[in-house]
Amino acid sequence: MSARVLVVDDIEQNRRLLNDKLRNEYFHVIMAVDGEDAIDKALAEEPDVILMDVMMPKLNGIDACRKLKNDPRTEHIPIVLVTALHEREDRLRGLGAGADDFLTKPVNDLHLLSRVRALTKYKMVADELRKREASGKRMGAVDLAGSGRASDPARILVIDENERQAKRICRYLEGLHQPISHVEANQLGISGSMVDVMIVSLSNEKLDGLRLCAYFRSLESTRDLPILVVAEPDDEKKAVRALDLGASDIVIKPIDSEELLARVKTQVRKKRYLDALRARLDQSMELAVTDQLTGLHNRRYMRVQLESLMKRSNMGGDPVSVLLCDIDHFKKVNDIHGHAAGDDVLREFGRRLRENIRPTDLACRYGGEEFVVIMPDTNQELAQAAGERLRQIIGADPFPINRGDDLKVTMSGGVSTIIAPDDTIDALMKRADDALYRAKSGGRNRIDVETADAF
């Protein structure tokens, strides 16, 4: 899937220029005409990266950046400010407002694409973690300030063969952080996996900066470690190559101490954001999204997944269908054979669903003896066919209960498909439920689809 880039500029010509460059590389481009518009679009369209002009009417780029970074709904979206050349003040203010990077006008193609790619990669990781977490519990702001971790000094490894420059960089960072040069680190046995940020000079002869970037990216323990590369002003190619190899950011010589500190701060914040998401996930994940009896996803997880599928589908993406299944006369199983037998049936029912859907489909226990299969990229006809197949698989072989007996089980099902552009989960489930009701009243052991007038 290609990344979605929001381009914000009040001048149409600038927007069109960036739009053309990005579209040539198959990015999906969304546009906004000022800071306020940018915030609206960021909320509505959930872009993967924002490219924002600084000088704009209504709300300027820096204020818009600050707002976006202070909103838990948008704080994870990387923002690149686009400034006129040498506007050092703007850059520092922008970094202070939480911007992730800068591009100077006129925008250089290589710079543009490699930075957008680098930030997209970060965003994908953050998205994945956020998605998994959101399925575990309601999404809130990642509370870094509260834990005090955001402002903790960072351990920074400086890899620069030029000893004078290594010392200078360390000096810039001391006070706020805990820098260590690679010479000292070697003596103490400190490795890349033990630090928060790495600063690598691209001018090194022996410790080739590009190789180091590639190497640290390939190691499990340092895969997500922010790497800041220090580049010569006339070696842009190398800097861009470093970004492609996984470096997180570039500082161009001569090093401006304030800019260095601001860039380190951005990297530390990003890393801690991901770390905090991961830690919270580890604590609470699996249990919260799984139904204990059947091992299928639970209703909450289903809703979260459906929400993002719904959004994409409503915006013109692939159709998504759901199948709501309900075991026929299940109460009788409990009444006649006991509750344990009922549980056996539910477990077996869950197993058959799980094993007979496509890998991209999602089987969930909706509650009681009701199950839902979410089918991405599936129109109504295909979903009905899938439902029919599942119905036959359920009814074909009897279910083993109470360690020995067999029981014939059937199911009824209702199918509905997202109707873009403004369908909702509740409406979708209601239509599936209506169809299920018809299947029940029509004699059970059958699949019905929503009717056209259900809307």
Residues that bind ligand GH3 (CB under 6 A): 293, 326-331, 334, 339, 342-343, 346, 368-369, 440, 444
- CB nearer to ligand GH3: give 140 or 368: 368
**Smallest gap, in angstroms, from Cβ of residue 409 to ligand GH3?**
10
The active-site residue out of 369, 370, 381, 388 is 369
334 interacts with, out of ligand GH3, Mg ion, none, CB within 5 to 8 A per kind = ligand GH3
The span of 152-160, 164-172, 318-326, 388-396 binding Mg ion (CB under 5 A) equals: 318-326
219 interacts with, out of ligand GH3, Mg ion, none, CB within 5 to 8 A per kind = none
342 interacts with, out of ligand GH3, Mg ion, none, CB within 5 to 8 A per kind = ligand GH3
The span of 137-145, 330-338, 339-347, 359-367 binding Mg ion (CB under 5 A) equals: 330-338
Please give the residue whose beta carbon sits closest to ligand GH3 in the complex.
342
Give the Cα separation of 301 and 10 in Å (integer): 40
Contact 214, 202 (CB under 8 A): no
Pairing of strands 370-375, 399-401: unpaired
Question: By CB under 5 A, is residue 330 in contact with Mg ion?
Answer: yes
Question: By CB under 5 A, is residue 102 in contact with Mg ion?
Answer: no
- CB nearer to ligand GH3: give 346 or 363: 346
Q: Which residues in 354-373 contact Mg ion (CB under 5 A)?
A: 369
3-state secondary structure of 421: coil
* Residue 88 CB-density burial (10 A; 0-12 exposed, 13-18 middle, 19+ buried): exposed
Strands across the sheet with 249-252, in order?
Answer: 178-181, 155-159, 197-201, 227-231, 249-252
344 interacts with, out of Mg ion, ligand GH3, none, CB within 5 to 8 A per kind = none
**Smallest gap, in angstroms, from Cβ of residue 366 to ligand GH3?**
11
CA 256 to chain centre: 33
Give the Cα separation of 31 and 39 in Å (integer): 11
- CB nearer to ligand GH3: give 69 or 440: 440
Q: Which residues of 12-28 are buried (b: 16+ CB within 10 A; e: fewer)?
A: eebbebbbebbeeeebe
Give the Cα separation of 421 and 316 in Å (integer): 7
Q: Which residues have C-beta within 8 Å of that of residue 355, sequence separation ≥ 6?
A: none
**Smallest gap, in angstroms, from Cβ of residue 411 to ligand GH3?**
9
Give the Cα separation of 367 and 344 in Å (integer): 15
**Smallest gap, in angstroms, from Cβ of residue 370 to Mg ion?**
5
**Smallest gap, in angstroms, from Cβ of residue 345 to ligand GH3?**
7
Q: Which residues of 52-63 are buried (b: 16+ CB within 10 A; e: fewer)?
A: bbbebeebbbbb
220 given a catalytic annotation: no
Give the Cα separation of 444 and 205 in Å (integer): 76
Q: Which residues have C-beta within 8 Å of that of residue 106, sequence separation ≥ 6?
A: none
72 interacts with, out of ligand GH3, Mg ion, none, CB within 5 to 8 A per kind = none
- CB nearer to ligand GH3: give 295 or 368: 368
387 interacts with, out of ligand GH3, Mg ion, none, CB within 5 to 8 A per kind = none
Q: Which residues have C-beta within 8 Å of that of residue 108, sequence separation ≥ 6?
A: 236
Contact 82, 107 (CB under 8 A): yes
Contact 175, 223 (CB under 8 A): no
**Smallest gap, in angstroms, from Cβ of residue 367 to Mg ion?**
8
- CB nearer to Mg ion: give 22 or 327: 327
**Smallest gap, in angstroms, from Cβ of residue 428 to ligand GH3?**
20
Q: Which residues have C-beta within 8 Å of that of residue 245, sequence separation ≥ 6?
A: 210, 213, 214, 217
343 interacts with, out of ligand GH3, Mg ion, none, CB within 5 to 8 A per kind = ligand GH3
380 interacts with, out of Mg ion, ligand GH3, none, CB within 5 to 8 A per kind = none
- CB nearer to Mg ion: give 14 or 412: 412
**Smallest gap, in angstroms, from Cβ of residue 343 to ligand GH3?**
5
Which of 100, 249, 326, 450 forms a contact with Mg ion (CB under 5 A)?
326
- CB nearer to ligand GH3: give 132 or 440: 440
244: how many CB neighbours lie within 10 A of its CB?
16
Tell me which DSSP letter residue 66 carries: H
At how many degrees (to 10) do helices 109-136 and 299-314 cross? 150
Six-digit token pair at 324?
């709501």
Tell me how many residues contact Mg ion (CB under 5 A).
Answer: 4
- CB nearer to ligand GH3: give 166 or 346: 346
Residues at the contact surface with Mg ion, assessed by CB under 5 A: 326-327, 330, 369
Residues assigned a catalytic role: 369
